[in-house]
Structure 1
Amino acid sequence: MIFLGLIQFLLAFDAATSQMAIVDRLLNVYAKMGFTYREERFLDNLPILDSYDFVIVGAGPGGAVTANRLSENPKWTVLLLEAGIEGNLYTDIPALNIIFGFTNYNWKYVTESQPELMCRGMTNKRCSWPSGKGVGGTTIWNGLMWTRCPASDFDEWEAMGNPGWGYQSMLKNFLKVENVSIPELRDSPYHSTTGPVGVQYPFRTQISDVFMNAGREFGYDWVDYNNPKTPTGFSRTQISARNGRRVDAATAYLLPIKNRQNLHVLKNAFVNRVIIDENTKTATGVEFVKNENTRVVSAKKEVILSAGTFNTPKLLMLSGIGPAEHLKSNGIKVIQDSPAVGQNLQEHISPLTVVTINSSISYNIRKLAPIIMPAFREWVSNGGGILSSNVAEVIGYVKTDPSLSKPDIEMIFSPVSIAADDGILLRRYFGISEETYETTFAPINQRESFTICPLGMYPKSKGEIRLNSSNPVDPPVIITNFLKEPEDVKNMVDAQKLVQKILETESMKKIGARLYDKPVLGCEEFEFGTDEYFECSVRTITMQFHHQCCTARMGPNPEDSVVSPRLRVHGVKNLRVVDASVMPKIPGAHTMSVTYAIAENAADIIKEDWNNEL
């Protein structure tokens, strides 16, 4: 009955979508079952020094890795500042990831409205854009998908003027991060069993086997997609988990060293700006707010921004580094005119492709309700069962054109569809408007259905991050420009055609798989299945995947990049960036693993630079 109450709670979700009530309710359920769980692993009242050697802003994978590696030197003191709180037992459950998008673990940013391009069917014609806030960053509650991308993506970074960022360098860092428990991969030279981030397969549903078999019929092998020799093909998803439990950046890199005396981790600390000496253009510390008190902490060696793709450029601009005219228009004194700050925003997008079937092997909330109690007990006892699913169990890397040198579409398979919960939770998480949902998807509420999202791996369209004002509390302005470039539109149309083709395989025919063909609201004038309809569909429901990157891109030229290949901010001393914003171009991968590897590489660079100055 306890978990039936939880399900009823989720079905009555209206009262709890903006606060931590969801987490509180889950913790109460856990306590009533007789289990204990300690959340406060990092002290909230930690005494802070006036100065440290390194001050790092943001405890996502960039900041957590960097803090760990720099504090390996006992002579260096490190302060890691994080605006959010810690994860808890329930963020450790892979299958509950979406729930935490409604809590204060999410910055809850939304894009500017651009209905001529995208998000026409989303709430207020704006896409919601989740971004993690907490000790661990987005790794606390993302989809856990562990993908790297083809080797040539990194070689392209290096060819753009960034020595040390090619595939061989990055492979070394991937191996440093990873601890794979998948038996057939443990002896691979492209995997490691010694790193802090566990990698395994998720729970396996029957319907995921159908998709795997369909991929083989479609002409694709079953592969290890993280092996550079086999970037094309189908596979069960590799996820960042150990024994069925999420491994986030805090679990992997901070908890094992939380008693290290030269490392302080301060949560609930909101950074306003970097303090920069205007005469020498040298970063000297940061200003932050904790418990409504504003204070400054000094950095004797460096300030390192790891605040993420949205907040790193925001902080740079608030600190006087960015496009001069934009800073002036917001009343901010220009310390360094850096036109590339906030530019080059990139993200992977996809249409929402729902498939109906006549077999009872998909999942919805009413099927899960009777089994959730034993499933929870199973997960608590051994990390097994359906709660260890990341709800994206298979990936297929395919080509829209056989002549391409590498895949350009990632098919993400999920055993549930947008209609699995009658529009209560999923449609809100993805930001689909109530009108769009009720008109388009409500007719298949609780029907057997699943999802294939064909993600475009290499978008051409680029957006930007701007300031709302000079007030640090205001969210950034996010202009995506999704689908602005014709190549992206064609790629998304071709991707939907590939989904149609895979549904023609015998494996799919056996379960009566059909593309759900009720026209998306606003696209009724177009014949279903035509190029015009598919374009309208993706412009109306524009899915994105938390893979935002590239807004403080690295490169040798200060005119079109923000940081050097050694991640130093152009024109400002003792200031670096270590997060996904430094990527010069979006990789064909979920960006979590890449960000871990970037941070490992960055830590080596920083150590080398400072050791050379001794």
Structure 2
Amino acid sequence: MAEPAGSKAVARLLALLRTLSAYTRGVKALVGSSAALGALLLVLRYYVFSKRGVVPYIINEPGRVGRRVAGGKTAAGGEDKDRGVYDVVIVGGGTAGCVLASRLSEDPNVRVLLLEAGKSSRLTRFSQVPSLYHQFFHSRHDYNLYTVPQKHAASKKKYWPRGKVLGGCSSVNAMIFHHGAPSDYDEWARLQGGQEGAEGWSYEQFNRYFLKFERFHPSREYPHVDVSLRGSAGPVQVGHFGNTSPLTRKFLDACDNAGVTRNPDFNTPKGTLGSSKVMTFIDSRGRRVTTESSYLTPEVLARANLTVATRATVTRILFEYVQKGEEKLPKAVGVRYVNLQGEVFEVAARKEVIVSAGAIHTPQILMLSGVGPVEHLAEHNIPVVADLPGVGSHLMDHPVIDYHFMDRSRIRQSRLPSDNPHHHPSVKNVLRMVALLLQYQLTGKGILSSNIAEAAAFVRSSDPKLFSEGPLAEDTTSGPGAPDIEIFFSPLSYIEHGDHHLPSGHYFGLHTVLLRPTSVGTVRLQSSSPIDPPIIDPEYLSTQQDISVLVRAARLLSRIVHTEPLASVVDPAGDDEPLLNHSLDKMSDDEIAELIRDRVETLYHPTSTARMLPREQGGVVDPFLCVHGVNGLRVVDASIFPTITSGHTVSPAIAVAEKAADLILESFYVV
């Protein structure tokens, strides 16, 4: 006898609730029968919406925007000769790609195509709920990448989540609005070696692109922000929205008492040193803000000259050779891509192809297309279009070390329900989750509005007020006012991106970040097949400098956690638990270094694999983001960073795309 359709729907709904509870961990919440009913209806609404699979004006059948390739040849155009022909083709609808598509299509004379391998984040369950971003990890909305075993980090492979949705990693990250240090961008300009356009990357000139994308919302709770230094008219909402745990406030008070003074705004010409509640990419209703939601609004998507196609995986860039003086140079003229069924299509670009696939997939696509280190391309029998050794080289990332502490305060506003995903979730935690969902839906507040990393402190390892040992042998910072250490606080604790759990109980986390790593790695092809994921080797902790800075960071973290008022929160019952770090202050430098090598993980900030530098210095693009030696091809994403910024990378990636849009449109009208 067939199972009734209603029973199947209920079963699917219960399965969804189990999944949601498995993604979360932490606290009790008030639960009543009416609250449970209301939140169940909310869950059902999200569930039904995600099943529709359609967002107006977004094409999820990418064969409709290109021309089919059969037998290695593109089908004739027939009557529709303009099908598959655009002025600009953008490869990748991630953090930068969405910005470019929106800004370039503001000019009605420019026909723009954006190709994205994933789908709209609007179609993913609870994509706007800030604290549930872990749901994307290891899902079909994640590329599910791993590094090679890290020989300087306990020989472990490291999981590197990468967003496979419109908005890219802005749709799956911790939503921290942070520019880095002003001197980071002056360093970028210096590194250009006097190339034309170099000065445009100095902080004085580049800062206008931060202000251009930003729409800051002042907060009564944080009144000391100078709003004259904040952007007010951009598409991206930022501010102090999102949950702030009572424990987070204790962390900031402890920083004050430990010598890390408050800085009301990390994102000004005054610099980023100090401690503060972080500003977030969260709006006034408590929703995640992504570059898809900000830039690809219904009004933008409705533009006649903009086409956005999802579920389109680009496999290579297409080139022709054009005469320039006495030599022929390659020119990008289109791209080839496949849909979910593996069918092959091509589109043509009259003016430019722009690769915005991120610091991992941008070098992969370039190398698959014949742009990269000639010796490596030869290993995979890929014909060389341009010999650029810098493609896939100089991979940089911010390593993070997670430290765990038992919390005696049991502040219930700080935590999410705590089911282990490897066990059947309890009814109690499902109901707790339902109540939190209802609170979030009605008010936009509560722990579900938390970005998890709620507050941070930025310091220099050479600061004599914090470190009596004196400066290290090498100063890796971009300037005297720039940090090389970040410590951030989370009102819950997690292991390996939430894949593993602490024993049952109440915990908070402190985390140290190496902001200016000297260890650099590579992205390389596994084969000539675009299906095979790239080989990622960040070479974590391959220099003593990196270990030394992280040991100092651990010392400062330990001092903060043992400073009031945070010290009183640490539960002595956890002193003997091996996973906890209550006795960090009693460990030797060598013991801390061993712990660091065992625990190091990514902070999700890969950069610099197609750097903006002179070609002879290993650069891939010039200050106009044009690929050296190739016409009609640019790269616009975090891979062009000459060196990693001393902070979170979403803001600079958006600003790079804003500047790139201006550069591109200006180039179209140069006589």
Same-fold call, TM cutoff 0.5: yes
- Separation in 1 of the partners of 2:166 and 2:543? 36
- Separation in 1 of the partners of 2:164 and 2:383? 28
Structure 2 matches for 1:162-201, cutoff 5 A? Answer: 162-183=198-219, 184=223, 188-201=227-240
Amino acid at match of 1:81: L
Mark the CA change 1:12 to 1:99 in structure 2 (over 3 Å): closer, same or farther.
Answer: closer
What's 1:380 paired with?
Answer: 441
What's 1:158 paired with?
Answer: 189
What's 1:40 paired with?
Answer: 54
CA shift for structure 1 position 504: 2.4
Mark the CA change 1:457 to 1:277 in structure 2 (over 3 Å): closer, same or farther.
Answer: same
What's 1:410 paired with?
Answer: 486
1:340 and 1:560 in contact (8 A); partners too: yes
CA shift for structure 1 position 187: 5.3
Larger deviation, residues 506-515 vs 232-241: 506-515
1:520 and 1:537 in contact (8 A); partners too: no
CA shift for structure 1 position 219: 1.8
- Separation in 2 of the partners of 1:371 and 1:212? 29
Encode CA deviations 1:123-176: one digit per residue, 9 max, x unaligned: xx2000111111111111111111111100111100111331111222100011
Amino acid at match of 2:153: M
Structure 2 matches for 1:441-452, cutoff 5 A? Answer: 442=502, 445-452=503-510
Larger deviation, residues 366-375 vs 257-266: 366-375
Mark the CA change 1:64 to 1:11 in structure 2 (over 3 Å): closer, same or farther.
Answer: closer
Amino acid at match of 2:487: M
Encode CA deviations 1:499-534: one digit per residue, 9 max, x unaligned: 11112212122223679665569x9xx996111111
CA shift for structure 1 position 568: 0.4
Larger deviation, residues 270-279 vs 27-36: 27-36
What's 2:243 paired with?
Answer: 203
Mark the CA change 1:508 to 1:192 in structure 2 (over 3 Å): closer, same or farther.
Answer: same
Q: TM-score, normalised by structure 2?
A: 0.81
Q: TM-score, normalised by structure 1?
A: 0.88
CA shift for structure 1 position 200: 2.3
CA shift for structure 1 position 314: 0.5
Structure 2 matches for 1:224-239, cutoff 5 A? Answer: 224-239=265-280
What's 2:98 paired with?
Answer: 64
- Separation in 2 of the partners of 1:576 and 1:36? 37
What's 1:545 paired with?
Answer: 603
Structure 2 matches for 1:19-418, cutoff 5 A? Answer: 30-31=43-44, 40-41=54-55, 42-45=58-61, 47-48=64-65, 49-88=83-122, 90-114=126-150, 116-120=151-155, 125-161=156-192, 162-183=198-219, 184=223, 188-201=227-240, 202-223=242-263, 224-242=265-283, 243-255=285-297, 256-278=299-321, 279-290=328-339, 291-361=341-411, 363=415, 365-366=417-418, 370-402=431-463, 405-418=481-494
Of all paired residues, the percent bearing the same amino acid is 34
Larger deviation, residues 377-386 vs 94-103: 377-386
- Separation in 2 of the partners of 1:586 and 1:285? 30
Amino acid at match of 1:92: Q
CA shift for structure 1 position 27: 11
Please tell me whether Structure 1 or Structure 2 has the larger radius of gyration of its CA atoms.
2
CA shift for structure 1 position 461: 0.6
Mark the CA change 1:519 to 1:385 in structure 2 (over 3 Å): closer, same or farther.
Answer: closer
- Separation in 1 of the partners of 2:146 and 2:381? 24
- Separation in 1 of the partners of 2:562 and 2:627? 52
- Separation in 1 of the partners of 2:165 and 2:390? 27
1:342 and 1:464 in contact (8 A); partners too: yes
1:186 and 1:192 in contact (8 A); partners too: no
Q: Secondary structure of the residue that 1:455 maps to in structure 2?
A: strand
Q: Secondary structure of the residue that 2:119 maps to in structure 1?
A: coil
2:181 and 2:481 in contact (8 A); partners too: no
- Separation in 2 of the partners of 1:535 and 1:216? 27
Q: Secondary structure of the residue that 2:394 maps to in structure 1?
A: strand
Q: Secondary structure of the residue that 2:383 maps to in structure 1?
A: coil
CA shift for structure 1 position 12: 6.4
- Separation in 1 of the partners of 2:460 and 2:407? 25
CA RMSD of aligned residues (A): 2.6
Mark the CA change 1:539 to 1:7 in structure 2 (over 3 Å): closer, same or farther.
Answer: farther
1:50 and 1:297 in contact (8 A); partners too: yes
- Separation in 1 of the partners of 2:167 and 2:569? 40
1:350 and 1:492 in contact (8 A); partners too: no
Aligned residue-pair number: 575
Q: Secondary structure of the residue that 1:189 maps to in structure 2?
A: helix
- Separation in 2 of the partners of 1:149 and 1:281? 36
Larger deviation, residues 177-186 vs 65-74: 177-186
